[in-house]
Structure 1
Amino acid sequence: MEKFLKLLLSLCLFLPALTVPSAVGAASAKEMSVHFINVGQGDAIYIKAPYGEDILIDGGRDGDKVVSYLKKQKVKDIEIMISTHPDADHMGGLDEVLKAYRVKSVYAPKVSHTTKVYRDFLYAVKKEGLKIKTASKGVKLAVKGTTAAFVGPVKSYKTDLNNWSAVLKLTYGKKSFLFAGDAETKAESDMIRAKENLKADVLKVGHHGAKTSTSEAFLKAVKPAYAVISAGKGNQYGHPSAEVLNRLKKYKVSLFRTDQQGTIVAKTDGKNIRFNVKPAGTASGSNLAYKLTASLDNTQPKQNGTIRLTVKGLPNGTDFRAVFHYKTTTTAYSGKIGTPLAVKIGRATKGYKVTVDVSAVYKGKTYKTQTSFTPR
């Protein structure tokens, strides 16, 4: 009997170790990853939730690029798709994703648009037998192990599509992400006034870093340790703006940029966050290699003819100055980058090479170039 009792006691001590899994070990094995896909000038964010759900926020312009990325991540279906607003650089690729994957739920703000891109999205949703669920303040998403809810839009913005952006806050453990879409300062102020809890460790910067978003008040409310800007390299809008970069620097936010670093991946176990690349920093402007160029539609025009000067290399609409050095006189003209400037050359001396000096100032820096023509 004594031996039997000892054996029974040993089993009682040993069995729990075999049958009860460690809660700490199980939690540490769960990880959430957030992929800010490099889609050029646009947004597409793929989230692998800690218990396996697949979430897609926007699809850039090129759906094939997004589908290709999702396939590399071995995504089989998508539990939640979110269209933040109807702009083509956010919604444009979602119809292709809907064709390629079984999507269980689609969320979008209650705003419509007249573009073909928007119609294609609606058609793809309908074809899959889905109905769009409204994304607005207070709407919660069922994502196991997390707290996921929209904090915006908080109201109607009529035709102001950017401020209609569905803004999602996703929290896993002690770490939070805030995805701001293209929300601008008006929507940011409304979210703050609505007393939404905007505090987040990682901020997906609104509107690709445009100066119309990411106000100081918003940064004070969010208090991010990290920020991600999704923008196209050399984009014509000058995104991200120096104003936003300087604000991020002021608040000592570590910055990641798809235009400089490609796809950004953040992973968290709910306690810590790590990224696939080192921060790009926030020290200066967009850090793009701008190069001013000038060309003429005719380099051997006839006297009294008209030539057209086209200047490129900086964002369209930037002012430029062109100085024509004729044999006996000098004439200056002003124009806009990206728009051909028509110039009548009058009785310019035949056979004399006329030099054209072009200059433009962008973000405090002067860019120069030169071209020429010879009248005949």
Structure 2
Amino acid sequence: MGNTILVFVMMRIYRDSHRKIFDIDRLVNEGHEVLFLSFCGWNGYSATVKDPYLIEKTLFINNDNDIENFINKYTDKTVLYITSVNYPRSFIKHFNSLKNHPSSQVLGYSTRMVPSMIDLNIRKSISHGITKFIAYRPLIKRLLSSFNFNKVKLDYLLAGTLYQTPFFTNFSNTKIISVHTDDVNQILSVQNESQPIHTGNYGVFTDQLIPFAFKHLYNESERDEYYQNLSDFLEYQRVNMGLDIIYFAAHPEIEVYSMQYDFLKYDFNIVKNDVVRLIKDSTIVFTHFSTTVGVAVYFNKPVHILIDNKLKDHKSVINRIEVISTLLNSPISNMDNYLESDSKIVKVTVNSALYSNYKIKYLKDNEIQEHSYCHAIRTILELKG
């Protein structure tokens, strides 16, 4: 559309699911030229994208020459770079090279909201709020921006909600476009569907591939122990809660790990690429600390948080879990020793006030009903004229 090319810059994760996350098909159908630049390999990460449609639109950047070739090829185009603000340090230099393009702007996004310990610390929350208030004053923003706090300079920031606008953007002239989080995009696409996946009472476990994501905690034999304990725990809950079934909502990367691990040897009822619809009509959601907690909150579903002895002793993990548990008043169960507990079955309820507050802070704080990336891109192009 026009002379602007949309360039999605992938720094550490690049999956087939990004086609849906960014709604690439819609952007292309609307006439936009779309390209992906994958820096994953150069940054020491692994791009698992396999979709031929995406690969055809991708340039894999592995050195400075690749960057220079890209810039030379698209010199006659105006470039809108679209990239996560959660970039590795090694990316800063690479991205500054991309900015050598004679006509380019940057749309950063922070659209996967996860509560942090600061939300439970009153003193820090007040300090954080005062700092944000001061930083948003135009004069002080201009003054602070001159100190170049922002390593990757953003022209625009697509934020999930204004509450968690990343701190560093306050010290720049970045224009903030607040729409909603990534999960809400999926929610909007299914919330009016009337045909449920299952008509009875059922639960959902949202998998995070924990033994693989934390492979320094779990050796190969301990992967079996993790999944066996998980299977036993979920079956115990199913029987005692009177559920018809508990679905195992597979992580987007399960296909990658299925080549090295047999998930089918457990009695999991695995469903792929449908976690939002699963949660929408469920009775209860089981999780560790998945961002899909937000989907459960949006649809007002009780959340039961699971840990094991290894996660319990991992400081950053248990901090995230305790934050979610506190913000939602959700119980935590250790699936390694739940049978030894005095309360094998815990009561899981929805606190309407806490859920409402969570939605506003971490999911959606406005009435926009459009896909967030499409909305932001359209807004920017309209501003550019």
Which TM-score applies when normalising by structure 2? 0.32
Q: Which has the higher strand share?
A: 1
Greater length-normalized contact order (CA 8 Å, ≥ 6 residues apart): 2
Which TM-score applies when normalising by structure 1? 0.33
Greater Cα radius of gyration, structure 1 or 2 = 1
Q: Which has the higher helix share?
A: 2
